[in-house]
Structure 1
């Protein structure tokens, strides 16, 4: 899998918003209860090897969804922009999701999908 966390954790714009001890970017389902806001989670949607007829794949195309949660809309937008700036030199933004408010928590949220071609060797 591509080094999504490492790339984001090394970016000053991301850590300015998501902290650095720890960076509040978690695998999907692993965000602690009552974590500070804003925070983001990611999940692998799928991976697709670049198959060839005469040799094994040397790269996989990973589709990853990133969800952002914050107390207010400006924070959601700020985290979205920081994550995009950190990730776009390494991968493609494939989809920008809608915005909403979670009924149970009243948190503002948005998400986006990336496509990251990452070497297998």
Structure 2
């Protein structure tokens, strides 16, 4: 039920050029430290469902992810979002652009989007 978003993105040169390696700054929700370097991105599962069949168990699940990119400026947030989009599109569907904002507490710029990822069981 967990899509391979980190593995896909960490294997992409454009993503690692922006988010680094060791670690690649793409974190599951709640795992980015307070002092993480910018830019970085976080992801979380926000929904999904099994592909149900009559008479047999599902063999695949649809998982909905939300990705939030944080950067110190608008251009940086957009650049990381583009790199993630390009890395992910060969494996899953981008289904919503959730917009841009600025975090009130940190003043970091945020770009948010949703992904639907089909995960084999």
Aligned-CA RMSD value: 0.7
2:36 pairs with 1:40? no
After superposing on structure 2, the runs of 4+ consecutive aligned residues of structure 1 that deviate more than 3 Å are: none
Write the distance in 2 (CA, Å) between the matches of 1:47 and 1:103. Answer: 30
- Tell me the SS of whatever aligns to 1:6: helix
- Tell me the SS of whatever aligns to 1:103: coil
Write the distance in 2 (CA, Å) between the matches of 1:20 and 1:46. Answer: 29
Which residues of structure 2 form unaligned runs of 5+? none
Deviation at 1:118, TM superposition (A): 1.2
TM-score scaled by length of structure 2: 0.97
Describe the superposition over 1:43-99 as per-residue Cα deviations: whole angstroms up to 9, x where unpaired.
001120000002110110000000000000110011000000000000101100111
For 1:119, the equivalent position in structure 2 comes to 120
2:97 pairs with 1:109? no
Alignment of 1:1-121 (within 5 A): 1-120=2-121
Which residues of structure 1 form unaligned runs of 5+? none
Deviation at 1:103, TM superposition (A): 1.4
Write the distance in 2 (CA, Å) between the matches of 1:63 and 1:24. Answer: 21
Write the distance in 1 (CA, Å) between the matches of 2:107 and 2:47. Answer: 30
Aligned residues: 120
Describe the superposition over 1:2-44 as per-residue Cα deviations: whole angstroms up to 9, x where unpaired.
1110000000010000001100000111101110000000000
- Tell me the SS of whatever aligns to 2:31: coil
